[in-house]
Each structure stands twice: as C-alpha cells, then as structure tokens.
Amino acid sequence: MIELIQCKTDIGRKLESYKDFLPVDYRSCFKHGRILKGKKIMHVNATHKGGGVAELLATQISLERSMGIDSRWFVMDAPDTFFRVTKKIHNMTQGLPGRLTMKEALTYLDTNQELSLPFLQILNTVKPDLVVIHDPQPMPLVKYVPAGIKTILRLHIDFSEPNPRITKFLTPFLSNYSRIIISSKNYIPELPKNVQKRTTVIMPGIDPLSEKNRPMAREKARIITKQLGIDPDRPIVLQVSRFDPWKDPLGVIEAYSMAKLEIQNLQLVLAGIIQAKDDPGARLILEKVKKRAGTDPDIFLFWDQSQINSNSVDCFVSAILTASTVVIQKSIKEGFGLTITEAMWKGKPVIGGNASGVRLQIINNRNGMIVSNTLMAAKAIIKLVRNPKLRNKLGKAARLSVQKRFLQPKYLLENLKVYKQVL
C-alpha cells in the first residue's frame, strides 16, 4: 500500500543552543519566528534517513517546532519500482541523456495519484498553512493541494544542465508552486520561464551539534579506525558519499592508484552506508566499485552498517573524517554536497570535483582544491599529503567559511524569511 508516514520531529534541538555559532542569525531567527508562531507547515520528501535532505529536515523541523511553528514531516512509503523511476528522473535533471518510457512516466504519475488519497486526508486533518515538497519524488502532489494553501518546492539537486525532456515533463508541476527554492542562482535559467521570478536561492547548512559534526578526540578516532582495519598512522584519503555514478567513486579509485605510485603507504576509504530507500541503484554501482578495488588491501569500502561494529553511522563518519589526511568529493554533478561541508567543518582540506554544488563551497587553493579530471585529483592528493602546512592552511580556511555561510541557523533563517513572504 502506498502511503505517507509521519516522522519523528523532535530530536531535542533548541534554537538557544546555537546562539554562540551565529549570534546575529540567531536573533533574526527569533524575530521571524515570532511572526510565524502557530503556523502549520507540512514537509514531504522521499525518505527519513540516508541522505542530506533527511538530515537537513531532521534539524530544521525540530528547530521550527522549538520556535512555536507547527511543522510536521511526512515521507513516502512506495514500492521500489517507483524509486527506480524517480532515480532516473533525478539523474535526468542532472543531465543524464535519454527519455522516460511511457511505462516509467505512468509509474511516476500513478504512484503520486495513489498517494494523493492519504495526502488529502492529512491535509484535511492537519489543515496546514503551507506545504513544502522536497525534490521530484512527490512533486506532482501539488496538483492536489486545495486553493488557499500555499506551496513551496525545495529542489536540492544540481539543475545546472538538466535533460530538456525531463524539464518539459516536470514543467506542469513546477508551474503550480507558489515558490521554488534552489541551492544556486546558476540553476535559475534552466527552470521554466514562468517560474523563474518565483525562485529563491538558499544554500543548505549543517547541524554543528549533531553527533557527526561535533568535535571528536583524535585518540578516539584513532581507536575506531584501527578497529576497522585502517592504519591511523598512515595517510588516509577519504570520500564519504553514496555509491552513485555522479560521485565518481571509480574515478576516486583511479586517482588514488595514481597517487599511490608516489606515496606507497597511501590508504583509501570509500564510505557510503546504504540507508536511503530512494536509491535502489546504489548496490549496482557498489559491485562495480568492488570489482575495480580488487584485492588491494589498502582500499576500504563501507556500505553496510554491520561493517562498522557497534558504532552509529554518524560516529563512524565523524571518526574517519577526524582521522583522515585528505578528503575528496570527486563529484561530476552536485546539487550542493553536505559531505563536503561536513569535512570542511572538521577543518579538513577537501579536493572537490568541478561541479556546481562544489563550487558554491570551495574556492580553489583558498579553502580547498577543485579538480577537473583524475590526473588533477591524483596530483592534488600527492601535494596535500606531502605538505602538512598547506593542509592546515586550507583546513582552517574551510572551517571558517562553513561557520560564516553553511550552518543551520543561517539556513533556518533564510527559510523563515521565505515562509513569511509566501504566507
């Protein structure tokens, strides 16, 4: 049965806890929050775990509720056939060539139509002032929102070079939203002309108080990584991301292999614990990655929670980030890339692929490095591993840029401003 499931929204976050991170934004959040107090906001997305969107919403909704806003979070319970189609739609919005088959289009539309029944029941019960739909999976639900209820579409994906066929297919839904929020102004020209003036740019932000983003003692990180078979006394190159062709894990292995010719004790960690239900293709990519990694004892692949002992996923990620020498995110396409933000917040030098979302965060050779191909990535790895002063310089600049621009209080504030404008 296809339905919407309400998620837990109270993870114990209170806005007061963030005061010291961004005092000005903290005060502004309270100012806007007072105006929105009592308003009912309904968020809908594909899944409650296993991705940046779910992490954003967990903190954002908890903070909105702590301010007296009645925010609620619902996720889709739909079959794998639907999520295989929406993964293709996601890839096409990021430039994958081809077209949807008639069967795929009908699966997408019919599933959302079936979802409209529980959706309307929730609307009638909750009576929200605002409905916020996240990404293409539930996008057609806008057709079923009664007049008088405002709607926002939050697109978290890289919309810099979408396949024109998918833009045309999605245009009837895009056109029905009161407002669209994207992560970069560079995505606006690719949206239908009739919605471009209703589009707002908000860049995401990480939660500095989450287990993953809190500081971890280096000794604790050493113990955890050592238990996982990784040698903390040797250089570690790390990529934290789902197993997805847009993240180019095969290219990361190639860059590591080239760099290892000069740094023979180099290790590579690819961490992509598969949690998200809306990413059924991850295991196919994982098999290709396993084949390419072969029997190299210095390549460590993590895809299942059973591999990380009794550690939570967030504790595991915090440990390997803390222990890593260099972090890489060799994305070909990237809507924003919160894994980059998280590494920068840890004070790590990040090598990023030349993708839109990466360029929003990394200024080449100032707070990280941007590379356009595998050879450049290999050279950047060698340079950073051999130059601790450069690593320290870029890492400090990286953390400072996150503190100024990419923490949750700023992200929350920008969303509150849009809510106020729309309502």
Question: What is the per-residue pLDDT across 111-130, written as a single tens digit (0 to 9) for each?
Answer: 999 999 999 999 999 999 99
**Residue 379 in domain:** yes
Backbone angles phi, psi at 199, to 5 degrees: -110, 135
Tens digit of each residue's pLDDT (9 = 90 or more) over 350-389? 999 999 999 999 999 999 999 999 999 999 999 999 999 9
Would strands 236-240 and 199-201 be described as parallel, antiparallel, or unpaired? Answer: unpaired
Query: What is residue 151's DSSP assignment?
Result: E
Q: Quick one: average pLDDT of 71-78?
A: 96
**Residue 65 in domain:** yes
Give the span between the Cα atoms of 333 and 91, in whole angstroms.
Answer: 9
Give the span between the Cα atoms of 271 and 263, in whole angstroms.
Answer: 21
**Number of other residues whose CB lies within 10 A of the CB of residue 150:** 18
Which of the four pLDDT bands, split at 50, 70 and 90, describes residue 327?
very high
**Residue 210 in domain:** no
Give the span between the Cα atoms of 313 and 341, in whole angstroms.
Answer: 17
Q: Under 8 Å CB-to-CB from 107, ≥6 apart: which residues?
A: 81, 82, 85
Residue with tokens 């969303």: 415
Residue with tokens 């990286």: 398
Give the span between the Cα atoms of 384 and 364, in whole angstroms.
Answer: 13
Does the pLDDT at position 277 exceed 70?
A: no
Looking at the fold, whether 45 and 180 belong to one and the same domain comes out as yes
Give the span between the Cα atoms of 341 and 401, in whole angstroms.
Answer: 9
Q: Under 8 Å CB-to-CB from 136, ≥6 apart: which residues?
A: 86, 89, 90, 93, 155, 157, 170
Looking at the fold, whether 78 and 131 belong to one and the same domain comes out as yes
Looking at the fold, whether 286 and 148 belong to one and the same domain comes out as no
Residue with tokens 């503190």: 403
Describe the crossing of helices 282-293 and 249-260 by its angle, rounded to 10 degrees: 20
Q: Are 397 and 364 in contact (CB under 8 A)?
A: no
Q: Which helix (H) or strand (E) holds 171?
A: helix 164-174
Q: Quick one: average pLDDT of 101-120?
A: 98
Does the pLDDT at position 280 exceed 90?
A: no
Looking at the fold, whether 417 and 394 belong to one and the same domain comes out as no
**Residue 109 in domain:** yes
**CA 339 distance to own-chain centroid:** 7
Which of the four pLDDT bands, split at 50, 70 and 90, describes residue 49?
confident
Looking at the fold, whether 166 and 44 belong to one and the same domain comes out as yes
**Residue 211 in domain:** no
**Residue 73 in domain:** yes
Looking at the fold, whether 284 and 414 belong to one and the same domain comes out as no
Our CA dihedral for 30, 211, 391, 411, rounded to 10 degrees, sits at -30
Largest Cα span, the chain: 64
Q: Read off the CATH number of the domain in which 328 is found.
A: 3.40.50.2000
Model pLDDT, residue 202? 98
Amino acid found at 421? Q
User: Token digits for 402?
Assistant: 């996150």
Looking at the fold, whether 396 and 255 belong to one and the same domain comes out as yes
Q: Are 319 and 224 in contact (CB under 8 A)?
A: yes
Q: What is the pTM of this model?
A: 0.95
**Residue 212 in domain:** no
Query: What is residue 304's DSSP assignment?
Result: S
* Structural domains of the chain, count: 2
**CA 378 distance to own-chain centroid:** 25
Tens digit of each residue's pLDDT (9 = 90 or more) over 394-422? 999 999 999 999 999 999 999 999 999 99
Give the span between the Cα atoms of 135 and 174, in whole angstroms.
Answer: 11
Does the pLDDT at position 301 exceed 80?
A: yes
Model pLDDT, residue 9? 76
Looking at the fold, whether 97 and 136 belong to one and the same domain comes out as yes
Backbone angles phi, psi at 384, to 5 degrees: -75, -40
**Residue 148 in domain:** yes
Looking at the fold, whether 8 and 149 belong to one and the same domain comes out as yes
Q: Which domain holds residue 164?
A: 3-205+407-422
Give the span between the Cα atoms of 35 and 15, in whole angstroms.
Answer: 16
Looking at the fold, whether 417 and 398 belong to one and the same domain comes out as no
Does the pLDDT at position 336 exceed 80?
A: yes
Looking at the fold, whether 8 and 110 belong to one and the same domain comes out as yes
Q: Are 308 and 172 in contact (CB under 8 A)?
A: no
Query: What is residue 362's DSSP assignment?
Result: P
User: Token digits for 413?
Assistant: 């504030």
Q: Does residue 323 or residue 14 have the better pLDDT?
A: 323
**Number of other residues whose CB lies within 10 A of the CB of residue 110:** 12
Looking at the fold, whether 383 and 415 belong to one and the same domain comes out as no
What is the rounded average pLDDT for all residues in the chain?
Answer: 96
Q: Taking Cα atoms as reference points, which of 154, 157, 158, 200 lies closest to residue 174? A: 154
**DSSP code per residue over 81-127:** HHHHHHHHHHHHHTT--S---HHHHHHHHHHHHHHHHHHHHHHHHH-
